[in-house]
Amino acid sequence: MKDIKAIRGKFYIHSLIQEGEHEHQDFKFAITDAAKIAHSISAFANNDGGRLLIGVKDNGHIAGVRSEEDIFVIEQAAEMYCHPPQRVEVAAFAVEGGAVVVRV
């Protein structure tokens, strides 16, 4: 993750994971399709916001983000597949084992 600097956030990320998935939070292992992720972004936009934790499996285990491409795909989804286009805020957090979790 060279373009976005990961900040230390092990305890913060674990506290979010402890909340589990709910109407304002969703876990994504990886981002593969901009049109698909746009559905989650639109759902949050229509429901007072929310956050995606990228690099976290549905069971709450941290896998980490595999590439910066995930961030590009999220930004593309928010701009090109959401009508009206949505603004997303991206932050990367370093957790144990050198893994990085991205909060969108």
Cα dihedral 21, 24, 27, 95 in deg (nearest 10): -100
pLDDT band, residue 1 (cuts 50/70/90): very low
- 9 pLDDT tier (thresholds 50, 70, 90): confident
At residue 3, the pLDDT reads 59
Instruction: For residues 86 and 38, give the distance between their C-alpha atoms in angstroms, rounded to a whole number.
Output: 9
Tens of pLDDT, residues 32-65: 899 999 999 999 999 989 999 999 999 999 999 9
Q: Note the pTM of the prediction, 2 decimals.
A: 0.89
Q: What is the mean pLDDT of the chain?
A: 91
- Helices 34-45 and 69-76 cross at an angle (nearest 10°) of 60
* Comparison of pLDDT for 88 and 66, the residue scoring more: 88
pLDDT at 12 over 90: yes
By percentage, how much of the chain surpasses pLDDT 70? 96
